[in-house]
Amino acid sequence: MSELLEDLGLELDCNLDVAVGNLEEFGAMDGFRPEDNPDWYTIRQRDGEFVMGEEDFPEAVDEEIRRALSHIDSLSARVAIADGGEGPKLNDDGQTLREEVAEEIGVDADELESYLHDGGANERRGKLDEVVEAVEGSETFEKPDSYDKIEWIPSAVRHHLTEGVIESYDL
């Protein structure tokens, strides 16, 4: 709908959801979800892939967790300075990325990995999202494109004008 409004050169003075809700309440518009569509889609934000089903979803969650931990570990490694390493990157509070993320989500830095691997697939997905948000919110560390959230997106409702509106306006 927003694309159609944009194509028509129309701008709303309110949120599109509010406008649609008002039109439905008034009886000018009705909506439905096709029966063959699921109520929700599970989408991996990193690549826009649908990761649905009993096999794909848990595997996708585990893969994103592995990728997130790989990034966190790469910036938190304690490299020996005597061997030419610079040591880990630290934020203004002297924390590594692992320590900053762990503090943000309320777990011990040493327990971050087990925290992310504990629970069912949807619980782990929620924990992954917490980690992604913590890294994105960091003022020191940047989140690469190598991992991202896995989000539940509601299936689209298809809207149409009611018969009364069509008859009233001769459409």
Q: What is the pLDDT of residues 91-123, one digit of tens each?
A: 899 899 999 999 999 999 999 999 999 999 999
What is the value of pTM for the model shown? 0.73
CA dist., res. 146 & res. 64, Å (int): 8
Specify the higher pLDDT residue, 156 or 45. 45
Please report the pLDDT score of residue 130 as a whole number: 97
- Strand locations in the chain, DSSP E? 29-32, 40-44, 49-50, 150-154, 158-161
Query: Half-sphere exposure (CA, 13 Å, Cβ side) for 169?
Result: 7
Do residues 41 and 153 make contact, with C-beta atoms less than 8 angstroms apart? yes
> Average of pLDDT values for 8-30?
88
| Distances, alpha carbon 158 to alpha carbons 8, 35, 45, 167, in Å | 19, 11, 24, 20
